[in-house]
């Protein structure tokens, strides 16, 4: 089923299959037609109906410091909207494959999916996800998992960088684990996380790093063993063992 919201009056409500709830003192009609809640660009939402697991936000999720907008562990959120004072324990896949989102004091306790399709943040082909926060980004209790995905089978070159998180007041916490798409790993690419200024205006950048092939590692180990052996033999030649002969 899909839930889409639009600011229409109760008198215009279609017959059957509707759920009515309040959003900032205005009536918002939720029509049931698939398994998503789609929030349009002109909508501001302070809570969601129960048992909705897939949400596309093109509008604004609005919580407050005293009443955080919280989404449970079974929820998957995407879209190019804004997220203010939110706490997400489910999957957050920002943007529109890929895209850029904005927010204020966003907190994450689940999985953060980042799609890479190019070195420039933005929407569509050749771009990558970016999350921008006007306050502080919090990785709750060091629980979140960072999932790095390839968009359109994109593979970066070693040294390519992707600024995926930006914040104005700081970053709190760390990712507990990083999952890397097999498109990258089969191309011998991994990523290192570079955090700049976690206590003020800063960012988290992913840098592509080449992973040596197994045969290269084996060759390096073999060469190292040869060097060590030659060094040992040379040392024995320079300092021969003396023999004490008794008559």
List, for residues 124-165, the tens digit of each pLDDT value: 899 999 999 999 999 999 999 999 999 999 999 999 999 999
Report angle CA 61, 63, 67 to the nearest 5 degrees: 150
pLDDT at position 166: 98
Kindly report, residue by residue over 48-58, the tens digit of the pLDDT.
777 788 999 99
Question: Are residues 51 and 87 both part of a single domain?
Answer: no
pLDDT at position 29: 36
- Write down the number of H helices and E strands in the chain: 2, 25
Report helix, strand or coil for 215: helix
Question: Are residues 21 and 107 both part of a single domain?
Answer: no
Domain that holds residue 18: 1-58
Q: What is the mean predicted confidence (pLDDT) over 85-112?
A: 94
Contact at 8 Å (CB) between 163 and 205? yes
The answer to whether residue 103 scores a pLDDT higher than 80 is yes
Domain assignment of residue 63, yes or no: no
Contact at 8 Å (CB) between 47 and 68? no
Pairing state between β 130-133 and 161-167: parallel
Q: Of 58, 80, 98, which residue is a domain's last? A: 58
Contact at 8 Å (CB) between 60 and 79? no
Domain assignment of residue 245, yes or no: no
Question: Are residues 72 and 53 both part of a single domain?
Answer: no
Q: What is the mean predicted confidence (pLDDT) over 232-238?
A: 69
Q: Which tokens go with 223? A: 């060469």
Question: Are residues 116 and 234 both part of a single domain?
Answer: yes
Question: Are residues 84 and 12 both part of a single domain?
Answer: no
Q: What is the mean predicted confidence (pLDDT) over 26-39?
A: 52
Picking from 134, 57, 69, 138, the residue whose alpha carbon sits closest to that of residue 99 is 57
Q: What is the mean predicted confidence (pLDDT) over 224-247?
A: 64
Residue 112's DSSP bridge partners are: 92, 146
How far apart (Å, rounded) are the C-alpha atoms in residues 176 and 145? 6
Domain assignment of residue 170, yes or no: yes
pLDDT at position 96: 79
Mean of all residue pLDDT scores within the chain = 82
Question: Are residues 75 and 54 both part of a single domain?
Answer: no
Calculate the alpha carbon distances from 213 to 173, 189, 245 in Å.
33, 10, 54
How many structural domains is the chain composed of?
A: 2
Q: Of 38, 58, 78, which residue is a domain's last? A: 58
Q: What is the mean predicted confidence (pLDDT) over 183-193?
A: 96
The answer to whether residue 19 scores a pLDDT higher than 80 is no
pLDDT at position 231: 72
Question: Are residues 36 and 82 both part of a single domain?
Answer: no
Q: Of 58, 80, 102, which residue is a domain's last? A: 58
Give 191 or 246, the one with higher predicted confidence: 191
The answer to whether residue 38 scores a pLDDT higher than 70 is yes
pLDDT band at 88 (very low <50, low <70, confident <90, very high): very high
């Amino acid at each position: 089923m899909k839930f889409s919201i639009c600011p229409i009056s109760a008198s215009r409500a279609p017959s059957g299959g509707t759920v009515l709830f309040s959003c900032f003192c205005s009536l918002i009609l939720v029509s049931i037609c698939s398994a998503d809640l789609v929030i349009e660009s002109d909508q501001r939402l302070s809570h969601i109906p129960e048992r909705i697991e897939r949400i596309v936000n093109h509008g604004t999720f609005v919580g407050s410091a005293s009443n955080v907008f919280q989404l449970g562990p079974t929820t998957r959120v995407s879209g190019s909207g804004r997220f203010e004072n939110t706490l997400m324990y489910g999957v957050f896949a920002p943007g529109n494959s890929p895209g850029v989102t904005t927010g204020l004091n966003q907190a994450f306790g689940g999985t953060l999916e980042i799609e890479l399709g190019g070195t420039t943040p933005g929407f569509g082909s050749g771009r990558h996800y970016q999350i921008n926060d006007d306050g502080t980004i919090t990785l709750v209790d060091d629980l979140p998992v960072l999932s790095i995905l390839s968009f359109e089978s994109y593979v970066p070159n070693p040294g390519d960088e992707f600024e995926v998180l930006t914040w104005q007041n700081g970053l709190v916490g760390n990712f507990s684990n990083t999952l890397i798409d097999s498109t990258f790993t089969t191309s011998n690419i991994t990523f290192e996380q570079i955090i700049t200024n976690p206590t003020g205006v800063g960012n988290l950048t992913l840098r592509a790093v080449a992973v040596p092939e197994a045969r290269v590692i084996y060759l390096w180990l073999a060469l190292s063993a040869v060097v060590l052996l030659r060094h040992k033999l040379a040392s024995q030649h320079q300092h021969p063992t003396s023999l004490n002969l008794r008559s």
